[in-house]
Structure 1
């Protein structure tokens, strides 16, 4: 069994994978932040399966270039950068790894929200920069009480549900918007369901995004959604960057439709660091200082999560090729 590891990014040479799956031959095609891995014709022809390890790049070669591949996997939760229709047209399942890093992303989302609404990063920065003159409890602009606040979730999947449980532990009222969940989910979870994004925005003090990127969700949090926002809204995005329109978010923050935002993901990574919103934050312009946090697409990460991800991605392939057991298929609608 030969697995092409496209856009391989780990520093090692798949020692972990080779230790746990000694019967598999791993072909590593390394990528960089700037460009996807170059995949040779020999690599394409040799592979029985292909795994894409990059959160930013797709596989450089098209599905048709892999004559022997029987399964394609995105090593991660998001599957916007795997050619689901292309693989499906050839009768090849495309899969993801949805059951890793759930606690890490949910923890990160709550940590970002709390950093803004309890001012922890503001206080530390003020003291580090200004010393005694920065030692004051009123320096943070977005402080509020969490008990009774409304925590809105876009997408109540594994991670959204984990974030909901954490918010509820802070005595926040949890509501959610997810048009793809079956009726009655609110009854089983105890969280309140709204059936329009505008309603979620109008009711929520904090909105946390946990939806996959698709044509439906691309630009979902744009001008219309932000115009409906409750005064004082804090927006948190640990899902996919293109779900939030940065231009619309900048305008909303400047005009006061939103009070603050925390972004672990950007539409283009890391190229959006020069976007006017991010550039203003980096310059600490007064209108955005202490109202925005940016982290480097790190919500998923912990050493334990990475170990889970690496092994689970291989297990998805092995289960299908060795046992005929298909798991986490995301392109069933395209399979012939």
Structure 2
């Protein structure tokens, strides 16, 4: 009798893994933890697992990779894989895969929802009415509220999510421009929108700037004090990608100075943001200068029941395809097999 392969799940959000087990049946045996510190997982679990399903709360460091005596594959249950040291995995001969084909529409919807929440003053109007139904029944004198038809939406990155957001922004009659040095020449012709050559040009022309790139050492703090200063006065910043892409201290200063009109953040450099940085502390305290100008959500742009199920289903399918058929999907650390070739 063939024993099921051991799959370590070090930081599961849901311990039952009913979706994953429904896909893999009795071929995989899941060892499930809900931890954020690798030291909380017994060494034997790391050393004996045949593969790993990791969410975004556990860091797979070089020290962890050194313990992976049997591991044949690491699947990041999601799109971003900056919590997995892919270079260490490559050196160890372990492929890393992600799940890029879930939640795209949810993330794009979330970005536009944040923008509409800000430019239509929904938070301000709701707060006014809750405080006083009579005196608060007023449309005027709300921060940020403006017409977005004809405004310029600048997208940093035009992959799957960038493209989905672009389509939605265009549907609101916004002019869309984008910058993406990693896409081939002529890519913009297929989209029918303008591509600019540099980030400074995009920042200087955009009324709304939205970030859709992976997090790496090269992109960390991609939007900081100089970039915010380069934006048009009264601009709006959206980040639904990775928290480390944006310097939230610089965002605090740009909002407080009035140069930046508003921001929408679904992701933060530290999650949960405890203790809170000044921007989040001011938002929590509902400081008057920030009222109606910042919307924050808890790394939730990806989420819907359908998207969640897709993410977990596809993760289990990626495991099965590689472990039983040798077919590697969505690999993000090419060269992992160099020693074998």
The number of residue pairs the alignment matches comes to 332
Moved more, 231-240 or 40-49: 40-49
Task: Judge conservation of contact 1:150–1:172 (CA < 8 Å) in 2.
Answer: yes
The answer for the alignment partner of 2:273 in structure 1 is 271
* SS at 2:327 equivalent: coil
The answer for the alignment partner of 1:64 in structure 2 is 66
Task: Judge conservation of contact 2:219–2:245 (CA < 8 Å) in 1.
Answer: yes
2:197 to 195, 198, 215: 195
Aligned-residue offset at 1:216: 1.3
Task: Judge conservation of contact 1:4–1:26 (CA < 8 Å) in 2.
Answer: yes
The answer for the alignment partner of 2:50 in structure 1 is 48
Alpha-carbon distance change, 157 to 272 in structure 1, aligned in 2, over 3 angstroms: farther
Moved more, 37-46 or 169-178: 37-46
Residue pairs, 1:226-305, within 5 angstroms: 226-271=228-273, 274-305=276-307
Aligned-residue offset at 1:36: 5.3
Structure 2 gaps of 5+ residues are none
The answer for the alignment partner of 1:83 in structure 2 is 85
2:163 to 144, 150, 161: 161
What TM-score results when the alignment is normalised by the length of structure 2?
0.93
Task: Judge conservation of contact 2:92–2:336 (CA < 8 Å) in 1.
Answer: no
Aligned-residue offset at 1:20: 2.0
- Alpha-carbon distance in structure 1 between the residues aligned to 2:58 and 2:44: 21
Structure 1 gaps of 5+ residues are none
1:28 to 26, 32, 36: 32
- Alpha-carbon distance in structure 2 between the residues aligned to 1:325 and 1:121: 48
Task: Judge conservation of contact 1:7–1:59 (CA < 8 Å) in 2.
Answer: no
- Alpha-carbon distance in structure 1 between the residues aligned to 2:172 and 2:275: 32
- Alpha-carbon distance in structure 1 between the residues aligned to 2:38 and 2:120: 40
Deviation digits for residues 155-198 of structure 1, max 9, x if unmatched? 11111110000001101111111111111111111121112111
Moved more, 146-155 or 265-274: 265-274
Aligned-residue offset at 1:67: 0.9
Aligned-residue offset at 1:245: 0.4
The answer for the alignment partner of 1:99 in structure 2 is 101
Moved more, 244-253 or 105-114: 244-253
- Alpha-carbon distance in structure 2 between the residues aligned to 1:173 and 1:272: 38
What TM-score results when the alignment is normalised by the length of structure 1?
0.95
The answer for the alignment partner of 1:136 in structure 2 is 138
Alpha-carbon distance change, 273 to 149 in structure 1, aligned in 2, over 3 angstroms: farther
2:16 to 13, 20, 29: 13
* SS at 1:236 equivalent: strand
Aligned-residue offset at 1:284: 2.0
- Alpha-carbon distance in structure 2 between the residues aligned to 1:41 and 1:31: 14
The answer for the alignment partner of 1:2 in structure 2 is 6
Moved more, 267-276 or 193-202: 267-276
